[in-house]
């Protein structure tokens, strides 16, 4: 980079002022990697080592045990409902925010991001206050025999809340960067709204969309605090995988707790791998994502 | 003046309408319900619940530990970002991808993993025990968990700014006779400072509300290592709705203040971008 700025006639710069010495570099790299090893790698390793500490047989038994299976099913179900809902919302929000100019847009973006800055416990609490037995709609729901809190709807609501901004916040900057000229051209050529979306917009945003869905899904399956407040912790019924981990851990059933945790850690690793693959493969298309 | 500029594209009313309706149903109305509930207790009820000694202690623990963890991340997050952007070494891409682990790993998993690492008989706990340092089941454990949670915020905010930084500025400073240290502190640091502070604020904001990774390692002793989110859960289990709501409103106010600070910081970062 410096070669085209300083021509050959110029005196070479003292290297010490534009770059660190080789030993400083090595030291900095070593300290950074040691920090990452200590805080990131060690916790990940200990999950798998503890999970297999009593052999692979114990690990599989802990996972196929009925309560664990019920927890896995519930987690998958909650994610399967909440992720598509947030995906649809994210696309709608990104369309009106990135393709149109209107007043109050900044406020709208801030409000969409709001769930990220709220403690997960508070996120769960607000639904208990709405739909719990002592909540605003509690008596009415009881009279009509509808259960939201301590049941699947509450878990889904809490999951939707904590993963609310994921897709929208990936898509908005991406679509803003891309601009709407191609969509406008499609309008002029007589395309319908749905045609524009499926054939012009979607191909442009599909990788950003996938990126947002990946992150949304990882959080949806792993959410603990918000779901813990609304779930009621009924074993085999309203326990998601992270809550099942907690119950096993508090019963000092460590190996089983780490076995279920290992499954969740595996999900995290798959998410990271897919996310990195997207970033490396489509770095140019996703450049807008890295900047916000 | 019209509130919307004209555009030939279809679907504005429909998508904006759906966005606002969904946002209201999921986020705004439930949050308003929380505020209404708190005001229902009356000012005195709210204050006596929010300012009870145990609550104040919990806030001190939450904010204090979050602050220390964010400061640790400020230093090491910058170091990690620097090493990943500036230096080439085997495994750099892998390390870069790995930074996001705390975003992807469920907090409960991180919680039990850290607790078992730092427990007196764990890998690190056993090493620290002879020195008389106990990390797990005390405030130090909370700081460790919050450091884990916050690291990617600092790294990911600083990285792109460091990447875009023009090396020519460093070369000019060097030609003018600056030493490497003064180039770093007087040329590089000022231009990445807004991003660094944004990352710090994001890590702090996340740490204040964090629950899952903390409760396993904290020991949860009231007044010593009991965090505010846990106290909400405890109050809720005791059917003390006024207590739970009051703490939640205080936390919500703190989130709003932090959100405002982060927005201002990001605007400051962007003003550097344009220049």
What confidence tens digit (pLDDT) does each residue in B214-268 have?
999 998 888 889 999 999 999 999 988 889 999 999 999 999 999 888 888 888 8
Candidates A168, A266, A130; CA nearest to B22 is A168
Candidates A261, A260, A265, A289; CA nearest to A276 is A289
> What pLDDT, on a 0 to 100 scale, did the predictor assign at position B275?
44
* Digit-coded pLDDT (tens) for A13-47: 556 667 788 888 999 999 999 999 999 999 999 99
Alpha-carbon distance A31 to nearest alpha carbon in chain B (angstroms):
8
Q: Which residues of A touch B37 (CB under 8 A)?
A: 129
Q: Hey, is the C-beta of A150 within 8 angstroms of any chain B C-beta? A: no
CA torsion, ordered B84, B205, B227, A119, to nearest 10 deg: -110
The residue of chain A with its CA nearest to that of B237 is A229
Best A81, A84, A121, A278 member to test B by mutation, with max B CBs in 10 Å, is: A121
CA B99 to chain centre: 15
- Is there a contact between B259 and A261 if contact means CB atoms under 8 Å apart? no
Q: Hey, is the C-beta of B258 within 8 angstroms of any chain A C-beta? A: yes
- Is there a contact between B168 and A5 if contact means CB atoms under 8 Å apart? yes
The residue of chain A with its CA nearest to that of B206 is A117
Contacts of B240 (CB under 8 A, 6+ apart): none
- In percent, how much of chain A has pLDDT > 90? 68
- Is there a contact between B5 and A102 if contact means CB atoms under 8 Å apart? yes
pLDDT band at A261 (very low <50, low <70, confident <90, very high): very high
* Digit-coded pLDDT (tens) for B199-217: 999 999 999 999 999 999 9
Contacts of A241 (CB under 8 A, 6+ apart): A71, A72, A74, A75, A221, A260, A263, A264, B106
* Digit-coded pLDDT (tens) for A42-63: 999 999 999 999 999 999 999 9
Q: Hey, is the C-beta of A20 within 8 angstroms of any chain B C-beta? A: yes
The region, left, alpha or beta by phi > 0 then psi within -120 to 50, assigned to residue A232 is left
* Digit-coded pLDDT (tens) for B89-129: 999 999 999 999 999 999 999 999 999 999 988 999 999 98
Q: Hey, is the C-beta of B254 within 8 angstroms of any chain A C-beta? A: no
> What would the mean pLDDT of B71-96 be, rounded to a whole number?
94
> What pLDDT, on a 0 to 100 scale, did the predictor assign at position A234?
81
> What would the mean pLDDT of B58-74 be, rounded to a whole number?
96
Which positions 185-244 of B are in contact with A (Cβ < 8 Å)? Answer: 205, 208-212, 216, 228-230, 232-233, 236, 239, 241, 244
pLDDT band at A1 (very low <50, low <70, confident <90, very high): very low
> What pLDDT, on a 0 to 100 scale, did the predictor assign at position A66?
92
Q: Which residues of B touch A243 (CB under 8 A)?
A: 108
- Asked if the model's pLDDT at residue B131 lies above 80, the reply is yes
- Is there a contact between B30 and A188 if contact means CB atoms under 8 Å apart? no
pTM: 0.90
User: What is the rounded distance in angstroms from the CA atom of residue A246 to the CA atom of residue A224?
Assistant: 9
> What pLDDT, on a 0 to 100 scale, did the predictor assign at position B45?
84
- Asked if the model's pLDDT at residue A182 lies above 50, the reply is yes
Candidates B246, B268, B195; CA nearest to B46 is B246
Which positions 37-56 of B are in contact with A (Cβ < 8 Å)? Answer: 37
- Is there a contact between B108 and A93 if contact means CB atoms under 8 Å apart? no
> What would the mean pLDDT of B37-49 be, rounded to a whole number?
84
Q: Hey, is the C-beta of A33 within 8 angstroms of any chain B C-beta? A: yes
The residue of chain A with its CA nearest to that of B15 is A92
Q: Hey, is the C-beta of B28 within 8 angstroms of any chain A C-beta? A: yes
């Amino acid at each position: 980079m410096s070669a085209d700025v300083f021509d050959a006639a110029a005196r070479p710069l003292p290297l010490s002022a534009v770059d660190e010495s080789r030993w400083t570099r090595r030291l900095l790299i070593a300290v950074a990697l040691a920090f990452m090893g200590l805080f990131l790698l060690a916790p990940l390793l200990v999950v798998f080592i503890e999970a297999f500490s009593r052999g692979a047989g114990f690990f599989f038994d802990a996972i196929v045990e009925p309560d664990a299976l019920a927890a896995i099913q519930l987690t998958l179900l909650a994610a399967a409902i909440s992720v598509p809902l947030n995906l649809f919302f994210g696309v709608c929000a990104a369309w009106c925010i990135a393709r149109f100019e209107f007043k109050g847009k900044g406020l709208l973006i801030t409000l969409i991001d709001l769930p990220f800055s709220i403690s997960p416990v508070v996120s769960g609490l607000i639904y208990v206050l709405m739909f719990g037995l002592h909540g605003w709609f509690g008596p009415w729901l009881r009279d009509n025999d509808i259960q939201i809190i301590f049941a699947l709807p509450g878990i889904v609501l809490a999951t939707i809340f904590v993963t609310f901004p994921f897709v929208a916040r990936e898509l908005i900057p991406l679509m803003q960067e891309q601009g709407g000229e191609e969509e406008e051209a499609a309008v002029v050529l007589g395309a319908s709204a749905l045609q524009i979306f499926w054939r012009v917009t979607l191909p442009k945003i599909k990788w950003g969309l996938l990126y947002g869905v990946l992150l949304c899904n990882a959080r949806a399956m792993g959410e603990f605090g918000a779901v813990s407040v609304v779930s009621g912790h009924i074993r085999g019924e309203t326990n998601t995988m992270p809550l099942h981990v907690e119950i096993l851990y508090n019963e000092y059933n460590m190996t089983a707790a780490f076995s279920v945790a290992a499954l969740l850690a595996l999900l995290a690793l798959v998410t990271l791998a897919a996310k990195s693959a997207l970033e490396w493969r489509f770095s140019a298309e996703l450049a807008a994502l890295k900047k916000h | 003046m019209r509130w919307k500029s004209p555009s030939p594209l279809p679907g504005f009313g429909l998508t904006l309408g759906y966005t606002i309706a969904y946002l209201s149903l999921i986020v705004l109305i439930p949050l308003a319900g929380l505020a209404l509930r708190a005001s229902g207790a009356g000012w005195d009820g709210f204050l006596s619940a929010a300012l009870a000694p145990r609550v104040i202690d919990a806030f001190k623990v939450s904010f204090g530990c979050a602050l220390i963890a964010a400061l640790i991340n400020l230093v090491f997050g910058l170091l990690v970002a620097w090493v990943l952007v500036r230096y080439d070494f085997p495994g750099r891409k892998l390390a870069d991808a790995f930074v996001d682990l705390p975003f992807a790993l469920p907090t409960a998993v991180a919680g039990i993993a850290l607790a078992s690492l730092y427990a007196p008989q764990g890998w690190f706990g056993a090493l620290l025990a002879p020195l008389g340092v106990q990390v797990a089941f005390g405030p130090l454990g909370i700081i460790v968990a919050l450091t884990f949670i916050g690291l990617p915020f600092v790294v990911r905010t600083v990285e792109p700014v460091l990447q875009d930084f023009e090396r020519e500025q460093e070369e000019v400073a060097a030609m003018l006779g600056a030493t490497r240290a003064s180039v770093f502190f007087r040329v590089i640091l000022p231009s990445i400072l807004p991003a660094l502070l944004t990352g710090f604020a994001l890590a702090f904001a996340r740490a204040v509300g964090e629950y899952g990774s903390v409760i396993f390692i904290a020991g949860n002793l009231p007044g010593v290592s009991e965090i505010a989110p846990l106290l909400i859960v405890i109050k809720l289990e005791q059917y003390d709705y006024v207590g739970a709501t009051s703490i939640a409103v205080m936390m919500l106010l703190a989130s709003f203040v932090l959100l405002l600070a982060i927005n201002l910081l990001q605007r400051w970062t962007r003003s550097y971008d344009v220049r």
